[in-house]
Amino acid sequence: MSTESTNSEKVGGRISPPPKADVESAPPRAPPAPPNGGLKAWLQVVGSWAIVFNTWGTIITFGDFQAFYERGTLFTESSSNISWIGSIQSLMVFVVGAVIGPIYDRGYLKLLLLIGTFGIVFGHMMLSLCSEYWQVVLSQGFVVGIGGGCLFVPALAVVQPYFSSRLGLALGIVATGSSLGGIIYPIIFINLIERVGFAWTVRAMGFVALGSLLVPLAVSEMRAKPPAVRRMLDLTAFSDGPFMLCILGCFLGYAGSHVSFFYIAYYGQANGWMTGTLALYLLPILNSASAIGRVLPNWLADKVGPVNVVIPGSLTIGVILLCNLAVTNAAGIICTALFFGFLSGIFVATPPLLFMVFTKDKTKLGARMGLAYALVGLSVLPGGPGAGGVLQHNSTRLDWVAAWVYAGVLPLSACLVFCGLRVWQAGTKLKVKV
């Protein structure tokens, strides 16, 4: 019998070729193990660093905008209404991620980077033309916020496939972008606002954003295309108890932190401890201390686990915010700003690592991180306008006491939530990496 007859069948007098392998039914090939280093991997860290420089950097800088808007030179509104601008911007960065995460999963990284870059730059240029409150809400709140939302989740998700054992360190380095952004942008604002006016100050910030966002457009690259089309919303997350408890803890911590980010500069200005542009320097002071505080918690998290790091961190942040009650001069507020800045990385750098750790199925990482940040992003409402409502426009001593008590209780509540999460995951054992 010939070889041809043994490897084929005769059908109706015709020889049919051997059946082809069912390629579509074959399981997707698993991506190779993360390299945990190398030029390409660290270039992703550089690109994501530049994105966080412009997303979290602009969010943190709003504290100086808040203090400037409170002067009434551009428009006149209450503290609560002014804080809505920064709150909407922060909310858009996080909530838009609920849609952006699944889009990123489908492989549209470059498109998201282009849209996000345009949104941030265009929003700043439009802000430079504003003279009324509603115009500022649209440009700074919505346009800049949506642009940042297109960038933030991809910046975190693109790093994860390149690292495993060093993921915490990589994300910590990425998070330092928020520190430098929170130093550079406020210093630009402080030094230009009196010299060239509001319009050209904001335009200068837009040009800095444009130049720095060219970096991720050039170097950021997904390591592997998703093996299949994923759902826009991962509903299984709502039945994942530890994951949802993690979101609740981060929500409370973010809310308390936003009170300080938004009001620390105005606190020094309203009480007369710091006059002129000196009060605006509180944000650069805060963020200069945060550079180490962005890396150290995640480095420790690689060693002992992120939950074991965030528990004492959230406790200490709550105590530091309550210490603002005892401040009576410029030296005191500078000290609390330094300590809070150092510790603020707990709720800036550690949450992405927490969400990654508690996402067991990494094929759903983008969707779950988008969902997590959408829910956590709602914390800017109690953290911004909520605190502004507590503070009121008169900003009396009693109002500030209420505002800082409100701010301090939120991270303390987060500490209790993370304690519950740790017990859920590891029981009462102390020497367990969680």
User: Which span out of 42-46, 90-94, 221-225 was modeled with the highest average pLDDT?
Assistant: 42-46
- What is the SS3 assignment for 52-110? HHHHHHHHHHHHHHHHHHHCCCCCCCCHHHHHHHHHHHHHHHHHCHHHHHHHHHCCCHH
Strand extents, DSSP E, 200-344? none
Q: Are 10 and 134 in contact (CB under 8 A)?
A: no
Residue of 245, 284, 255, 288 lying closest to 61 (CA atoms)? 284
Q: Are 153 and 97 in contact (CB under 8 A)?
A: yes
- C-beta atoms surrounding 199 within 10 Å: 14
**Res. 90: pLDDT tops 80:** yes
State mean pLDDT over 15-21: 49
**Res. 370: pLDDT tops 80:** no
Q: Which of 37-46, 171-180, 191-200, 209-218 has the lowest mean pLDDT?
A: 171-180
Query: pLDDT digits over 177-213, tens only?
Result: 888 898 899 899 989 998 999 999 999 999 999 999 9
Strand extents, DSSP E, 282-354? none
Residue of 279, 348, 288 lying closest to 317 (CA atoms)? 348
Q: What is the pLDDT of residue 4?
A: 47
Residue spans of alpha helices (H) in 220-362: 241-270, 282-304, 306-323, 330-343, 350-357
Q: What is the pLDDT of residue 21?
A: 44
Rounded to the nearest integer, the mean pLDDT of the chain is 83
Q: What is the pLDDT of residue 381?
A: 81
**Residue whose pair of structure tokens reads 């200069």 in the numeric block:** 288
Cα-based distances in Å from 147 to 17, 51, 58, 259, 344: 55, 11, 11, 23, 24
Q: What is the pLDDT of residue 36?
A: 77
- Give me the CATH topology for the region 36-221+232-426: Growth Hormone; Chain: A; (1.20.1250)
- C-beta atoms surrounding 22 within 10 Å: 7
Report how far residue 214's alpha carbon sits from residue 220's, in angstroms, rounded to the nearest whole number: 10
Q: What is the pLDDT of residue 408?
A: 93
Q: What is the pLDDT of residue 87?
A: 87
